[in-house]
Amino acid sequence: MADGDSDVQARPADGEARSGPRRALLLVNRHARSGTASLDGALSVLRRGGVEVIEEDCGSRRPIPDVIRAQAGGFDCIIVGGGDGTLNAAAPALIETGLPLGVLPLGTANDLARTLGIDPDPVAAAGLIVAGNTRRIDLGEVNGHPFFNVASIGFSAQLAQELTAEAKRTWGVLGYAMTALKLLIGMRPFRAYLEHDGTTDIIQTVQISAGNGRHYGGGMTVESSAEPDDGYLDVYSLEIRHWWQMLALFPALRSGTQGTWDEVRTFRTTGFTVRTRRVRPINTDGELTTQTPGRFRVLRKVIQVYAPLGVVQAQTRAP
C-alpha cells in the first residue's frame, strides 16, 4: 500500500479494547426492500459468534447519527441493517466515533456490499462481522455530506427524486429501470462549469457523477478499476444530446467502461467543484442531500468496515 501498511486488519479491529463479548449497536431499517426476512438468522449468527446485539429501529423520529453519537461509548461496533441510503445516513457519526461498521444488506441495491465483496445474504454477511476482519476505506464528500458510493448531478438526481419508496419496495432494481425510462424521454443537457486540478471546463451534460467506490444504482459501475480505498474520486460526465444515446451507453455504464466513449468525459481527482446556472439537486448514495454549487473531495480512510479477507487491495493510483 502507498502508506506503508495494509488496509485489511485481522480481529480485533481498531477501538475494540474490551475483554469478553463484543457489544454491537444494531440499526435496522424495517422499511428496506428485503425487510427483516433474514434478520433473525443474522442475529442468531451474531449471538452464537459472541456478539451481544442491542437493536434500534431506524424508523424512529430520532436521526440515525444522533442515536450513534448518544450510545457510541457503550459499544464496540455499529451494525447497519438496511440499504445504501441507511448507511449514508449513518456515515457522519461513524466518522466521528471511529467505531467499525458491520453491514447487513437489506436494501434495494446494496452497492457498498457489492463493492466490498460482502455476501448479499444477511446471514452470510453476519458471519463476516463475527470474523472481525476490517478494511479501512475512504468516503467521498460534497458540501459536507459524506457518501460511500457515488454523488451525482443531473439525470441520477432526477431519478432519485422520482423513485418513490413504494416503487423500491415493489419493484426493487426493476423500479430504477422503469422510472429511468420515463425520465429519459424528456432529458435535456444543462450547462455546467467543472473546476478540477487547475482547469475549468464549460460543458453541456446530462449527468456528472463522482464515485468513491466501484458500484452504484443497483450494479452500475463508476469505473471498472475503482476501489473505495484508492485515495481518489472517479468522475464522469455524460455529454450526450439524445435520450437514445443513454440506452446505447447502458452496457458501458454497467461495466464501468463509459470512458472509452467520445461523449463521456472522465478523470480521477482528489477534489473538484461543479457550478451550474440554475441550482440543481445533488444525490448522495440515492438520497437528495445538497445542491449546486457542489464542492467535492475525498476523505482518506476515515471508516473501517467488516469485510472479507483475501480481497485484492488497490494501490494508490495516479490521476
Q: In the structure, what pLDDT confidence band is assigned to residue 189 with cuts at 50, 70 and 90?
A: very high
Both 160 and 293 in one domain: the answer is yes
User: Which of the four pLDDT bands, split at 50, 70 and 90, describes residue 187?
Assistant: confident
Grade residue 107 by pLDDT with cuts at 50, 70 and 90: confident
Do 296 and 150 share a structural domain?
A: yes
What is the overall mean pLDDT for the chain?
A: 86
- Domain-located, residue 2: no
The answer to the question of residue 251 being in a domain is yes
- Judgement on whether residues 89 and 178 belong to the same structural domain of the protein: no
Determine the pLDDT at residue 283: 94
Domains in the chain: how many in total? 2
Same domain, 72 and 29: yes
Question: With bands split at pLDDT 50, 70 and 90, how would you rate the model's confidence at 315?
Answer: very low
| Boundaries of domain holding 29 | 8-138+301-306
User: In this structure, are 131 and 158 located in the same domain?
Assistant: no
pLDDT value at residue 174? 63
Taking residues 131-141, report their average pLDDT. 97
Q: Is a pLDDT exceeding 50 seen at residue 12?
A: no
Candidates 245, 238, 215; CA nearest to 228 is: 215
User: Higher model confidence: residue 32 or residue 23?
Assistant: 23
Q: What is the CATH number of the domain that holds 98?
A: 3.40.50.10330
Asked if the model's pLDDT at residue 243 lies above 60, the reply is: yes
pLDDT, tens only, 218-240: 878 999 999 999 999 999 999 99
Q: Are residues 273 and 150 in the same domain?
A: yes
Q: What is the predicted pLDDT for the residue at 1? A: 40
Asked if residue 268 and residue 221 are part of one domain, the reply reads yes
Residue 281: inside a domain, yes or no?
yes
Do 178 and 289 belong together in one domain? yes
Residue 3 lies in a domain: no
> Do residue 286 and residue 221 come from a single domain?
yes
pLDDT at residue 319 above 50? no
- Please give the pLDDT value at position 122: 95
Is the per-residue pLDDT at 314 higher than 50? no
Regarding whether 162 and 18 lie in a shared domain, the answer is no
Q: Look at residue 2 in the predicted model and tell me its pLDDT.
A: 40
pLDDT at position 6: 44
The pLDDT of residue 31: 61
Based on the fold, state whether residues 118 and 19 are members of the same structural domain: yes
Segment 242-247 mean pLDDT: 86
Is the model's pLDDT at 207 over the cut of 50?
A: yes
**Is 88 inside a domain boundary?**
yes
The pTM score is 0.85
60 domain residue, yes or no: yes
pLDDT at 309: 82
Same domain, 115 and 180: no
Whether residue 193 is contained in a domain is answered as yes
Lowest-confidence segment of 89-93, 112-116, 128-132, 182-186 by average pLDDT: 182-186
Would you say residue 177 lies in a domain?
A: yes
**CATH number of the domain within which 262 lies:** 2.60.200.40
